[in-house]
């Protein structure tokens, strides 16, 4: 059922994309302003570190095909996380992405009865369509809709802790705008999800197993063409009786070290994860985009 829902979502977004580009000009090389394609979120979509924005992967404009690749590490008090992935942007309108996530429980794995350094993993396939507006050049902000299919690699374990499923689909809508004269970017996202800790602890739970509406937001100030600072917020569902899930926050700095390379460092507060409170630490991300 989950795969069918994703297939239907992809088919709808692709058909909308084809309709919107039916009279598009031939492909040619072009370039976005620095940092306006964002970085890569933990789930592979272009935007901020914790949440997608209504931007499309790559440096190309509506006359080209863009590409990005990323690697991200998060080191908090008791856990380690890394992800890597790629995304392709078509005419700055349609984005298709893939990300692989790995969440290592370190010593906490022993306490939880899973064994030291037990790791949860997940694969995510995403699709996003910018349906209206533009981040920079239109009075209307960029508006995008998207879906993310998530497949957890530890089905038996996540069910044992109370999750109802090891796969799921998130649906979201984002609105983003860069106020160029003030160098300020604002973005907001509404997400329908059943994912526990993005899906790394499965989907749904013993407390509830229905889609819930979550809100995510970002604000950034571009200090120069190459440097931006800001913060993000992401509300989270709380489906599992065994492990409370808190909202997420971060403060970040992103630097365009090259036309094609962006480095990001953030202080992240992820709250309680898998029964352990106070999970705060550093997020480091490197993105190459063309």
- CA–CA distance from 29 to each of 26, 63, 255, 260 (Å)? 10, 7, 23, 14
Query: Structure pTM?
Result: 0.90
Domains of the chain with bracketed CATH? 2-289 (2.40.160.40)
Q: What is the secondary structure of 224-259 as a DSSP string? A: SSSEEEEEEEE------SSS----EEEEEEEEEEET
Note the pLDDT tens digit of each residue in 60-79: 998 899 999 999 999 999 99
Note the pLDDT tens digit of each residue in 137-189: 999 999 999 999 999 999 999 999 999 999 999 999 999 999 999 999 999 99
3-class DSSP assignment, residue 10? helix
CA dist 17 and 28 (Å) reads 18
Number of Cβ within a 10 Å radius of residue 222? 22
């Amino acid at each position: 059922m989950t795969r069918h829902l994703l297939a239907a979502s992809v088919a709808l977004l692709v058909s909308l994309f084809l309709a919107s580009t039916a009279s598009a000009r031939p492909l040619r090389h072009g370039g976005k302003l620095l940092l306006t394609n964002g970085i890569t979120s933990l789930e592979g979509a272009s935007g901020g570190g914790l949440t997608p924005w209504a931007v499309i992967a790559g440096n190309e404009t509506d006359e080209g095909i863009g590409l990005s690749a990323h690697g991200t590490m998060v080191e908090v008090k008791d856990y380690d996380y890394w992800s890597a992935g790629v995304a392709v942007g078509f005419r700055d309108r349609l984005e298709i992405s893939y990300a692989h996530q790995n969440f290592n429980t370190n010593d906490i794995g022993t306490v939880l009865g899973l064994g030291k350094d037990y790791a949860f993993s997940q694969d995510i396939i995403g699709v996003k369509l910018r349906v209206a507006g533009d981040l920079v050049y239109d009075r209307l902000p960029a508006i995008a809709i998207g879906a993310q299919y998530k497949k957890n690699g530890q089905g038996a374990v996540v069910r044992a802790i109370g999750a109802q499923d090891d796969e799921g689909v998130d649906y979201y809508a984002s609105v983003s705008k860069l106020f160029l004269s003030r160098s300020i970017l604002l973005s907001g996202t509404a997400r329908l999800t059943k994912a526990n800790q993005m899906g790394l602890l499965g989907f749904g739970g013993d407390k509830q197993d229905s889609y819930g509406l979550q809100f995510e937001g970002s604000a950034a100030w571009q200090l120069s063409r190459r440097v931006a600072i800001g913060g993000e917020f992401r509300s989270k569902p709380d489906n599992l009786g065994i492990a409370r899930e808190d909202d997420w926050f971060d403060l970040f700095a992103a630097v365009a070290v090259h036309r094609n390379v962006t480095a990001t460092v953030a202080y992240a507060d992820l709250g309680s994860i898998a029964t352990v409170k106070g999970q705060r630490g550093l997020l480091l991300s490197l993105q190459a985009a063309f």
